[in-house]
Amino acid sequence: MRMLAKIHGVHVPMRMKMDQTILAQQQRFPVPGLKSSFVGLETMLGMDEQIEFEDYLNNPEFSEKQVDIHTEMEKSLKPSIRK
């Protein structure tokens, strides 16, 4: 980070840290069956350049399941029924 600051200016490490913070916070809306993958953060950190076990055989938590998002949202938000 110090080398980046010396070469490009102090704003570059600050910008990189800010980008990492923003990308770490972005998630899907909390619906059961759909997990966040943080692809942007992995790309920024250079973790997308190697093929690992999860990339080839798929991580079980990212398995493709048929999920009815509307039903799951109704379950998770539990809307109150007015009479």
Please say if the pLDDT value at position 1 is more than 90: no
Give, in order, the Cα–Cα distances in Å from 50 to each of 13, 24, 59.
25, 20, 15
The pair phi, psi for residue 31, each rounded to 5°, is -110, 130
Do residues 76 and 31 lie in contact, with contact meaning Cβ atoms separated by under 8 Å?
Answer: yes
Q: Residues 28-81: pLDDT tens digits?
A: 766 666 667 788 888 888 888 887 776 777 666 666 667 777 887 777 777 655
